[in-house]
Amino acid sequence: MSLDKPRELEYSLAINEALHQMMNENRSILLMGQGVKSPWYVGNTCNGLVEKFGEKRVIDTPVSENAMTGMAIGASIAGYPSIVVHPRMDFMLYAFDPIINQAANWFYMSGGKVSVPVVFWGIINRGGEQAAQHSQALHGLFAHIPGLKVVMPSTPYDAKGLMISAVLDPNPVVFIDERLLYSNKGVVPTELYSVPIGKAAVRKKGKDITIISVSYSAFLVEKVTPKLIENGIDAEVIDLRSIKPLDTNTILKSVKKTGRVIIIDVGWKSFGISAEISARIAESGINLKSPIKRLALPDTPAPASRTLEAAYYLNEKKIYESICKIFKKGSS
């Protein structure tokens, strides 16, 4: 590595580095979940951890999501801040009680005396005709719950920085990463750093429209913006990074400037984060030049068949065309 060429790392390895550095910093931290000692489920995010920190701290668990998640919460309360990974978010649903009834409410219920420094790490893993129970993006569900923070990095830099923030945060944080981003490379500092929870990133300045993206949609939008420029549309691009707390200030500031907004979510449309963001914009009373536009998954379970998947999921073309349509421009 030379000084003038910053180090690049894959998204998944950025998470791996965060885990290594945090577990090295604080020997109370525990990691548990299915596949933490194998690339089977979690790609290379957990490489080398069990070798370095041992099976007492890196615990590959039986298929027992409810109890294992509760265990992570209890350990966190008892002084061992824990990270519990669910190799697919869909499996987390077995753990709704410990996450929502227990962890999210604990600090409040104890009158502010006992907080729960736990990380619920859930991986979105979809496509490949995996169908309804192996594809879900449930960030909107968790964001609905008071007492839970929810983060969704789209870049390797944020993946590392947000994992570190999630571990350091004294509250329960739902860290949601995306398998489709795992091999993406980007600049990642070697040292320990954090990305603040609750702060969006403006990826590109622009004057015509605000594009609000998150996780995989931020990755897609990055590819679409050059084409928009060619078509005479100068977009401002926001990557939310945190769903909760939501960085309303950054959103409103941008929308006030551009007067147009499209929200591109990776989850379902109804009652999801695109609805919440729309409401905040509407409540702000900002005058818009065109109605708020939302692009998200249809209110349908994830299908299996590749043709249905193509209709179901977002892609660059759908994003590009929707934005061109707002400006009544052709998109051929």
Ligand X SMILES: Cc1ncc(C[n+]2csc(CCOP(=O)(O)OP(=O)(O)O)c2C)c(N)n1
Q: Assess contact for 100 and 66: CB atoms under 8 A.
A: no
Q: Which two tokens stand for residue 279?
A: 């409401």
* Residue 192 found at the interface with other proteins (CB under 8 A): no
* Residue 121 found at the interface with ligand X (CB under 6 A): no
**Nearer residue to ligand X within complex by CB, 65 or 178:** 65
- 149-151 and 242-244 beta bridge pairing: antiparallel
Tell me the three-class secondary structure of 122-170, residue by residue: EEECCCCCCCCCCCCCCHHHHHCCCCCEEECCCCHHHHHHHHHHHHHCC
Please report how close the Cβ of residue 66 comes to ligand X at its closest, in angstroms. Answer: 9
Which range, of 55-63, 72-80, 139-147, 192-200, touches other proteins by CB under 8 A?
Answer: 55-63
Give the whole-angstrom CA distance, residue 80 versus residue 117.
9
* Residue 101 found at the interface with other proteins (CB under 8 A): no
User: How many residues of this chain interact with ligand X, rule: CB under 6 A?
Assistant: 5
Q: Hunting for tokens 């945090």 — which residue is that? A: 22
Each residue 32-51 as x (binds ligand X by CB under 6 A) or -, in order, gives --x-----------------
* Residue 51 found at the interface with other proteins (CB under 8 A): no
Residues ≥6 apart with Cβ < 8 Å to 65: 86, 91, 92, 94, 95
Q: Which two tokens stand for residue 248?
A: 């309303």
* Residue 63 found at the interface with other proteins (CB under 8 A): yes
What, of ligand X, other proteins, none, does residue 132 touch, CB below 5 to 8 Å by kind? other proteins
Torsion 124-126-130-133 (CA) sign: positive
Which range, of 122-130, 170-178, 189-197, 217-225, touches other proteins by CB under 8 A?
Answer: 122-130
* Residue 3 found at the interface with ligand X (CB under 6 A): no
Q: Hunting for tokens 């957990």 — which residue is that? A: 46
Single residue of 28, 80, 107, 131 touching other proteins by CB under 8 A: 131
**Nearer residue to ligand X within complex by CB, 1 or 63:** 63
DSSP 8-state code for residue 98:
I
Query: Looking at the annotation, which residues are catalytic?
Result: 65, 134
* Residue 94 found at the interface with ligand X (CB under 6 A): yes
* Residue 65 found at the interface with ligand X (CB under 6 A): yes
* Encoded amino acid at 47, one letter: N
The residue among 55, 58, 70, 65 whose CA lies nearest residue 88 is 65
Residues ≥6 apart with Cβ < 8 Å to 143: 150, 243, 244, 246, 273, 276
Single residue of 36, 59, 73, 91 touching ligand X by CB under 6 A: 91
Single residue of 28, 44, 60, 278 touching other proteins by CB under 8 A: 60
* Residue 63 found at the interface with ligand X (CB under 6 A): yes
DSSP H helix total and E strand total for the chain = 13, 14
Single residue of 306, 315, 317, 329 touching other proteins by CB under 8 A: 306
**Nearer residue to ligand X within complex by CB, 91 or 313:** 91
Please report how close the Cβ of residue 94 comes to ligand X at its closest, in angstroms. Answer: 5
* Residue 130 found at the interface with other proteins (CB under 8 A): yes
Please report how close the Cβ of residue 315 comes to other proteins at its closest, in angstroms. Answer: 12
Q: Which residues pair with 33 in a beta bridge?
A: 60, 85
Side-chain-side CA neighbours of residue 246 (13 Å): 23
Note the residue count of the chain. Answer: 332
Taking residue 38's Cβ as centre, other Cβ atoms within 10 Å add up to 11
Residues binding other proteins (CB under 8 A) = 34-35, 38, 40-41, 60, 62-67, 90-91, 93-94, 128-134, 298-301, 303-308, 310-312
Residues binding ligand X (CB under 6 A) = 34, 63, 65, 91, 94
